Structure 1
């Protein structure tokens, strides 16, 4: 339980450091992308801490990139 609290605290601190600067510069799209990546990385780290097996992310990325490779003819 302590590890989960520390992980959450780290992600909150990262958000508090990065987001205010982006909001001041009115970069709303960047804030949205930042939070999407932040949430995905938080979930992956949380699953790792809970010892839940997940599909390796490189396999997921490969399956997403295969159609692009076929389109470009590589």
Structure 2
């Protein structure tokens, strides 16, 4: 065979002196990704329970009233 017509033994085995080393794994020592703001990664204490907001109370009342209305007026019941 002429040069360049077929695979050489060195290329097939991957041990040719001109072959490149495989890519190294990325550096994983960093604790945080620099593209993420550290504000989002901080551990915060959960808020202390206090008085619920008016909107929360209204949503709970609306849900309970709709559930009670469905139980009373459900079809086939």
TM-score by length of 1: 0.31
Structure having the higher helix fraction is 1
Q: Higher Cα Rg: structure 1 or 2?
A: 2
TM-score by length of 2: 0.30
